[in-house]
């Protein structure tokens, strides 16, 4: 197959962009011709792959750069399918496809347009298929392709029974990540168990105060993050919503027991009382209770950690590329069912609850997914 990706270029790592690049790499390794059209929607033009040293591209990928956010300004290429990650406007006449990762950073109108636009919708998690149904898109136009992680890096190095009482959390300034709520929960944990170590790792400075008893790690690479996670017994994911939640999966692969909100993406790996402790979104008290519960019960914590570790072994980039390859072959062979117009938007008259993602999550919420402590 000949495949095109339209993707925002970035001089520094961005999670959603990494997913696109990894999928492009995987398809190139499987023998397909892959073009990437790099656009610049954030005012940070990139003129070549040398400007992105944080990612290693497969040498067979062909790159095209433009210093605007309009892919139609790029050179024309001939492909079978083109993925639009930022815009539906493409410089080629090809079957359209969208990679939908669930972050409405560009606004709810654009997310809704992506779901309702004709073509294959590749979604990173099952909750986004629920979202598609509510937005009028037939579920059969969607295919789930979860992202992967490097399991040779994120692995258990310190046995889960031998770890200290330590909690790790990702710090992020995007409100969706719930960092304020997570820190509020950890304040309660610290009050109840001042002996517990707390580690916050982050790509950038956090906009709100971090207590002095929190160890902060700035921008660890994969190896550094794996070492960090292996000296912690619990990973706290307080997100309001996640498209998928790759960092939580990396923590589970590294042997941390997961305490997570029911944030959408977590529904594919955080199963209440089986692989994680799961709470409502936005509830710092419940998160604190869950962390303390596991700290006080090391056998239960180890059981969840090992079950979670086993479950996430399925999330590899090779598997992601295989799933995407199969979906694209089906799409090219029978495009008509993917190009049918959408039905009514069932969320059009639903009162908004915060933003697009939280409105969808409220509409698709399943109380059985939550732990009761």
Neighbours of 127 (CB within 10 A): 28
Give kind and range of the element (H or E) at residue 306. Answer: helix 298-311
* Predicted local distance difference test score (pLDDT) of residue 272: 95
Q: How many CB atoms lie within 10 A of CB 152?
A: 9
As beta bridge partners, residue 95 has: 81
Q: CB of 4 within 8 A of CB of 90?
A: yes
Q: List, in sequence order, every residue forming a beta bridge with 83; answer none if it has no partner.
A: 5, 97
Question: What's the pLDDT at 367?
Answer: 47
Handedness of CA 215, 218, 222, 223 (dihedral sign): negative
For the whole model, what pTM was predicted?
Answer: 0.91
Supply the CATH classification number for the domain 160-314.
3.40.50.2000
Contact, 370 vs 280, CB < 8 A?
yes
Where exactly are the structural domains of the chain?
2-148+319-363, 160-314
Each residue's pLDDT expressed in tens, for the chain with a length of 373 residues? 999 988 877 788 888 888 999 999 999 999 999 999 888 766 666 788 988 888 999 999 999 888 765 555 555 677 899 887 544 455 557 898 988 887 554 555 666 777 888 899 999 999 999 888 888 888 899 999 999 999 999 999 999 999 999 999 999 998 889 999 999 999 999 999 999 999 999 988 888 899 999 999 999 999 999 999 999 999 999 999 899 999 999 999 999 999 999 999 999 999 999 999 999 999 999 999 999 999 999 999 999 999 999 999 999 999 999 999 999 999 999 999 999 888 888 767 665 555 656 666 666 665 446 776 7
pLDDT of residue 257: 98
Q: Which residues of 88-110 are buried (b: 16+ CB within 10 A; e: fewer)?
A: bebbbebbbbbbbbbbbeeeeee
- 57 with 21: CB under 8 angstroms? yes
The DSSP output letter for 352 is: P
CATH topology agreement for domains 2-148+319-363 and 160-314: yes
- How is residue 279 written in tokens? 């709470």
Tell me the torsion sign for CA atoms 157, 160, 166, 171: positive
Tell which CATH classification among 3.40.710.10, 3.30.2180.10, 3.40.50.970, 3.40.50.2000 matches the domain 2-148+319-363. Answer: 3.40.50.2000
Sheet holding 142-144, edge to edge: 62-65, 33-39, 2-8, 81-84, 95-100, 120-123, 142-144
């Amino acid at each position: 197959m000949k495949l095109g990706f339209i993707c925002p270029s970035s001089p520094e790592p961005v999670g959603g962009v990494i997913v696109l690049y990894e999928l492009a790499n995987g398809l190139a390794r499987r023998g397909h011709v892959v073009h990437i059209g790099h656009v610049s929607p954030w005012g940070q033009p990139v003129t070549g792959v040398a400007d992105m040293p944080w990612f290693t591209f497969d040498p067979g990928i062909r790159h095209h750069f433009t210093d605007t956010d309009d892919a139609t300004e790029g050179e024309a290429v001939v492909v079978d399918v083109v993925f639009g990650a930022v815009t539906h406007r493409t410089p080629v006449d090809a079957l359209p496809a969208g990679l939908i990762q669930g972050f409405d950073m560009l606004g709810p109108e654009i997310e809704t347009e992506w779901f309702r636009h004709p073509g294959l919708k590749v979604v990173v998690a099952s909750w986004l298929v629920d979202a598609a149904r509510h937005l009028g898109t037939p579920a059969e136009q969607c295919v789930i392709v979860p992202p992967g992680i490097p399991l040779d890096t994120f692995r258990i190095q310190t046995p889960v029974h031998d770890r200290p009482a330590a909690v790790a959390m990702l710090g992020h300034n995007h409100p969706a990540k719930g960092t304020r709520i997570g820190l509020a929960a950890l304040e309660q944990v610290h009050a109840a168990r001042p002996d517990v170590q707390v580690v916050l790792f982050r790509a950038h400075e956090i906009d709100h105060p971090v207590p002095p008893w929190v160890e902060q790690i700035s921008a660890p690479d994969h190896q550094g993050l794996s070492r960090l996670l292996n000296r912690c017994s619990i990973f706290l994911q307080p997100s309001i919503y996640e498209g998928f939640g790759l960092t939580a999966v990396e923590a589970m692969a590294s042997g941390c027991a997961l305490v997570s909100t029911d944030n959408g993406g977590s529904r594919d790996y955080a199963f209440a009382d089986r692989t994680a402790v799961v709470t409502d979104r936005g509830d710092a008290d419940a998160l604190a209770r869950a962390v303390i519960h596991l700290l006080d019960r090391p056998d239960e914590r180890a059981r969840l950690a090992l079950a979670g570790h086993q479950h996430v072994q399925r999330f590899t980039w090779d598997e992601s590329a295989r799933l995407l390859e199969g979906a694209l072959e089906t799409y090219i062979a029978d495009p008509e069912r993917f190009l049918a117009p959408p039905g009514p938007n069932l969320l059009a008259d639903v009162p908004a609850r915060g933003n697009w993602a939280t409105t969808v999550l409220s509409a698709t919420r399943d109380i059985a997914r939550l732990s009761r402590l």
